[in-house]
Amino acid sequence: MEIATSQLAGGLETARAVVGAATVALIMFQGPKGDGVVNSLNESRMFGSASKAKSAVDYVTYGLIFGFIAMSAVLAASG
């Protein structure tokens, strides 16, 4: 049973690393004054307006941050 727990923790640690890297990359793509990727999304009319694009990127960023924190808490509790 200990092997299964170890494999689960290893998989969760890998997932946490991927989520952390994705969060950092997404935050770095965002410009400090709206001149990042979000503004380029508005130019291609993928979203209706810059505020909607910014809102969508913000929600994804918040979800990634929450997922990272949740996985860290689970790993801390199991260790």
Give me the average pLDDT of each 10-residue run along the chain (79 residues).
Answer: 69 93 88 60 54 74 95 88
The answer to the question of residue 66 being in a domain is: yes
The answer to the question of residue 12 being in a domain is: no
Looking from the CA of 55 toward its CB, the CA atoms found within 13 Å total 6
Helix segments in the chain, DSSP class H = 2-29, 37-43, 50-78
What's at 38, amino acid-wise?
A: V
Domains identified in the chain, total number? 1
The answer to the question of residue 60 being in a domain is: yes
> Using one digit for the tens of pLDDT, what is the confidence trace for 62-77?
999 999 999 999 989 8
The answer to the question of residue 43 being in a domain is: no
- Are 58 and 65 in contact by the 8 Å Cβ rule? The answer is no
The answer to the question of residue 74 being in a domain is: yes
This prediction's pTM: 0.69
The answer to the question of residue 15 being in a domain is: no
Task: Extract the tokens encoding 26.
Answer: 């997404």
The answer to the question of residue 28 being in a domain is: no
C-alpha angle 22-25-52 in degrees, rounded to nearest 5: 90
Containing domain of residue 73, as a range? 51-78
